[in-house]
Structure 1
Amino acid sequence: MRKIYLDNAATTQPLAICSDIYTEYAQELWQNPSALYADATRVQTKVEEAKKTLLRAFGSSVHRCVFTSCGSESANMVILRGARQKKNMNYVCGGAEHPCVEESFKYLAEQGYPVTFIKPDRHGVITPAQVAEAVDADTALVSVMHVNNETGAKNDIEKIAAAVKAKNAQAMFHADGVQAYCKERLTNTSNIDYYTVSAHKLHAHKGTGAVFYKENTPLKPYILGGGQEGGLRSGTQNTLGIFSFAAAVSYFMEEADKEQAGRVRDIFLEACSGIEDIVLLTPEDSEQACRHIVNLSVLGVRGETLLHTLEQQGICISTGSACSSKKGKSRIAKALGLSEEEAEGAIRISFSPFTTQEEVLTAAAQIKKEAELLRRFTRK
């Protein structure tokens, strides 16, 4: 049975070049980059080159890069170790963030710091005005995600960051860029103090993330030890993961068909338009929606049931964030104010530069077929 993989927001298949990178790593570049002999120095040089590659894709010449193990560690590091934590400080957080962000701010709230969670619209969008209203002279850190991992909503973080700085120039601004990096272009990063990313969303190996941070912004080590990564992240670097991350970023910058995900998304949505009783949870406004994630609710059908039915046909989708899939009802559905029926029927389909028109047409047709069949058993 041919597999159709439409869960690229959860993870992506590594590029073919990652096999070549592993071979080079295993045969020539396996040395510890902290050692002082020539071969190890060569590895460290490649690590520094990888940082430059990632920052070029981000669009900044003033930020620095520290490698971590994943996007979650990166966000935890910024939120828990990247702001001036004084007794009178407060925090502002988007209301539909990834758990790695939301749980970090909940931890701060438990420690006694005031945290304001901004309520998004029903698609997950947050406006600059909403954020600015929550910022005051004592705000230490504001965090609003670039692209929502469940709905595909795209926040204008450039305008949001500018609004934060206009209200309080000393407040730090962080954006979770895991779903957006190399897929959504930024033209002005000057007001973004921290931006966190992850390799495995870009067809590289799992196990590597990064924090982009402006020089002289507050940032302390989250993991202590040997003082690697300029003293900010101890532990021997995952050089294989770093090299594959840089290669994937280079691919997205130089070779990837950046329009393909958007093309198949439009084809998929058009094909789904004939399905009875579906609700688009992704923003309809193209300025507020990314091009690689679609979330819709098939009313009268449990999303999890539809997922497993499609799986039997070789089609892989999800019902939301892979990180939250084992925790029951989506907290995002609650944050967006979805009805119980909308939340129960929600499914997420996510595309890559390698997704084809044939695949999305097959998936849409199968969703229609299975929805009609399942409704016979759920609707009276």
Structure 2
Amino acid sequence: RQRALIAAALAADPEVVVADEPTTALDTTRQAVVLDLLRARVDAGGSLLFITHDLGAARRVADDVVILDAGRVVETGPFRTVMADPASTEGRRLVASVPWGRPRGEALLPDAAARLPGDARPRTVATQGNAPAPATPAVSLGGAVPGPASSYRLDPAPQEPERRGLDAPREASPLLSARGVVVRYGGTSEPAVRGADLTLRAGRTVGLVGESGSGKSTLLRALAGLLPVESGDVRLRGEPWSALPERRRRARRRQLAMIVQDPLGSFEPRWDVGQVLTDALGRRDPQRVADLLESVHLDPAAARARPRTLSGGQRQRVAIARALAVEPAVLLADEPVSALDASVQAQVLDLLDELQAQRGLGIVLVSHDLGVVRHSSDDIVVLQNGVVVESGPTEDVLSHPTHPFTRELIEAAPRLS
């Protein structure tokens, strides 16, 4: 849908293109195609205003940058100059929030205030193409304009950091495992997932990556027991899970919880936050609701707020609190930060790390952002057309990929460095 909209916008060959978060919903390879297309229009003499929270994407197309904070312009200048040495607090915060190249277990924003203020609004970055403007000439960066995806190289693998909190040994019994899982949607000839294997242990995160339609979310829903498994087996704490009828799974469902990409769409719109959490708890317990909100660094007073009045980061924190209400052993997170700006994304990723260390959670993280997966996962599973083409420790796979598709994803991934 996003690409069809972009095609419609470019069909009339406009002189000026205003692109408002055009690549947020796209996987890395399709994102690279769109960014290269937009950059090519600028190189041909067109003008581009590119609004995004993804600094890596902005680097691919932008010559100049305008950083906004709460409606105010706080910094402007050549993109690479500003990103290399931001003069504003917000600029430094945005650059610090980028997860690519940050070691597993290192807080992205260690000095950030834990709580999001009640009037917090998503931050946005607006970037400009290099076509001449009537009043102010664009700044030329000479040969520094980003090239095609193939010119990007993976950063050197960081040294293995000391993990904060729980670091479960690899020989520990899996919390959740899948062996040879096949999932087919009704009326389709080809399975959406074909023979997938996955192992999740306590205190560890497995990242699922791949292009749109590769089967990431389908596999996640099969792990949750929300889709039937045609063949293969999913086991929870070593015991049958996918093979059981729902009536026998129901008593064990509290061991798993999901965090969805669009929390607002998953909330009952007539309820306030307190009612959302009370429903998840299955009982009225104001103190427990307050404790849940504090566990995700929200003021207990947020219980009286309607989800639509909260910022994107606050809503995602409420979604995490709702998932924690059942005291799960496993969190299944489907693109939990894709719609958030860089600094709020960093806060949510830091929060998930903190909760994992405190509670020993096993997390399956679906994301099209390799930077997020590299920073936040211990192990990675790469899916292509429903097939696991590569898996293993995240740093090993991303630093030394063996499958051509994995290398393609890495080369296409936007990054600041």
TM (norm. structure 1) is 0.26
Pick the structure with more strand per residue.
2
